[in-house]
Amino acid sequence: MSKRFLEECVSDAQPSISQWRTSTRRARGGRPKGRVVLVGAGPGDPELLTMKAYRCIQSADVVVYDRLVSSEIVDLIPSGKALIYVGKAKGLHSVPQDKINDILVAEASAGRTVCRLKGGDSFIFGRGGEEMKVLRDAGVNVEVIPGITAASGCTSYAGIPLTHRGLSQGCTLVTAHAEKDLSSNWSALASLNHTLVFYMGLSKLQFITEKLMAEGMSPSMPIAVIEKGCSVNQRVFVSTLSDVLTAIQGKNLVSPSLIVVGEVVSLSSELSWFVTQTQEEIEQLSA
C-alpha cells in the first residue's frame, strides 16, 4: 500500500487532524498547549489503520511508538518527524513505563502534539488507561483513537470467527503476561461457552493448556497459535489442547503470537482466506 493511496483516502475526510490541532492548541501565557493522542495502530497490516489514525501519524509533532507497531506503519511516518522508540520485549532491555510516562508529559508540556502509537488498541492490554491517567493528572489533554485489536484482526486473517452460532456465544480476552503469577479463574474459563483469546501467551502455552484441561476442558478442544498475524509473515498452527506443544515443536515461533482456544478454531480450514507463502509451506508439510 502506497503512502499516496492513503493520502487520497483521507484527503476529503473531515475534520482533519490539522484543523483539530488548530482548534485545541490554545495559548496560555503566550505558550502553545500540547496534547497526546493515544493511537491504536492495529495488528500489523497498514491498510487496517483508521483514517483518523493515519492523519494523526502524518500531522503530529512527535511520534512515540512501540515494538509491536509494524515496520510498514513506521514507514508511513513522514521523514524528518521526531521519533521516539519505547519498545518493550521480554528478556531484552526496554524503556520502563515510568520513563515512557515522563516522555509523554515532557513532550506535551513543551507544546507539542504527540502521537502515542501502539500496536492493536491502546485500551486492550496496551496500558492506554495507565498513560491517560498519568497525563490527565499532569494536566495534559488526551484523546484516544481506537485501533483493531489482535483478537479480532488476527483471528479474521486466520479464518477464525470469534463467535459463531452453535459454537461460541461469546469471547473472552485474557492477558497471559503478569508481573508475578498468571492468576485467572481457570474453572470459569474452562466452563464458558466462549472463544478464549490469550495475548502474550507463547511462553506460557504449556501452562495454559494444562490449566484448562485440569479444569475439565476436553483435551481435543481445538486451539490455534497465530504468529505475526495480519502480516506477510503470518503463520497459523491449528491443533488440540493435548497435542499443540508437539505440533509447534521445532517451528521456532516468536512473539507476537496469539493463542485462540475454542470450537470456532475448527472452522479455520474452511474459512481461511489470507494465505502467505509461509503458510502454504506449512499446509504442504501437514498434508
Domain ranges, ordered by start, for the chain:
3-145, 150-286
Task: Name the one residue in this structure whose C-alpha cell is 485467572.
Answer: 184
Query: Of 52, 66, 121, 228, which one is the catalytic site residue?
Result: 66
Q: What is the pTM of this model?
A: 0.84
What's the pLDDT at 167? Answer: 95
Superfamily in which the 3-145 domain is placed by CATH: Tetrapyrrole methylase, N-terminal domain (3.40.1010.10)
Rama region for 29: left / alpha / beta (φ>0; ψ in -120 to 50; rest): left
What's the pLDDT at 70? Answer: 93
- What is the H or E stretch that residue 261 is in? strand 257-261
What's the pLDDT at 23? Answer: 42
Nearest to 258 by CA among 214, 212, 215, 200: 200
Contact 251, 281 (CB under 8 A): no
| Distance from C-alpha of 23 to C-alpha of 13, rounded to nearest angstrom | 17
What's the pLDDT at 281? Answer: 58
What's the pLDDT at 88? Answer: 75
Query: Of 3, 88, 204, 211, which one is the catalytic site residue?
Result: 88
Which one-letter amino acid corresponds to residue 256? Answer: P
What's the pLDDT at 13? Answer: 47
Structurally, at CATH architecture level, domain 150-286 sits in 2-Layer Sandwich (3.30)
Cis ω for the linkage preceding 219 (within 30 of 0): no
Decide if 66 is catalytic: yes
- Which residues, 6 or more positions from 209, have their beta carbon under 8 angstroms from its beta carbon? 223, 241, 242, 244, 245
What's the pLDDT at 149? Answer: 97
What's the pLDDT at 152? Answer: 97
pLDDT averages per 10-residue partition of the chain, 287 residues: 54 46 46 88 95 97 95 94 87 82 97 97 96 97 97 97 96 79 82 94 94 96 97 95 97 95 97 76 55
